[in-house]
Amino acid sequence: MNLGLKKILSSLVKDPTKLVTIADAWITARNPTAEQKDMAEARWNVCIQCPEFRSKRDITGEPYCNDCGCPLNKKIFTKNYNECPLEKWKSVDDIFWQATQKKNKSLL
Ligand code: SF4
């Protein structure tokens, strides 16, 4: 098992409620509102400049965060404010987050 997946599992053992956050981000990523998409794109632009950004996970090939281990193409859709483990999304979320809370297409 790669290090990123171990970090995710370790995080879930410490706080099982994160499973709901992860599932919600995955669902949102499949059908985001325009506001959620704008925020995700802005978060993505922060991530690709971050030293913790990794462009390709072994086996799955998805981009991921080396700090938390999360797949970034899903994590950027989380509805949680500034969920970045290094709090680098604050400036983006200060602009977009409030608008994403008004419409909620997610089932969770
Ligand atoms: S989530 Fe945060 S720490 Fe991880 S790659 Fe993105 S900006 Fe960097």
Pocket test for ligand 1, best of 22, 57, 80, 88 (most atoms within 8 A of CB): 88
**What secondary structure letter does DSSP report for 11?**
H
* pTM exceeds cut of 0.75: yes
What does the pLDDT look like over 18-58, one tens digit per residue?
Answer: 889 889 999 999 999 999 999 999 999 999 999 999 999 88
pLDDT at 108: 55
**Ligand 1: residues whose CB is within 6 Å?**
46-47, 50, 52-53, 65, 67, 84-86, 88
Beta carbons of 75 and 11 less than 8 angstroms apart: no
Please, which residues have CB within 8 angstroms of residue 24's CB and are 6 or more apart in sequence? 78, 79, 106, 108
Coarse DSSP helix, strand, coil percentages of the chain, rounded to the nearest 5 percent: 50, 5, 45
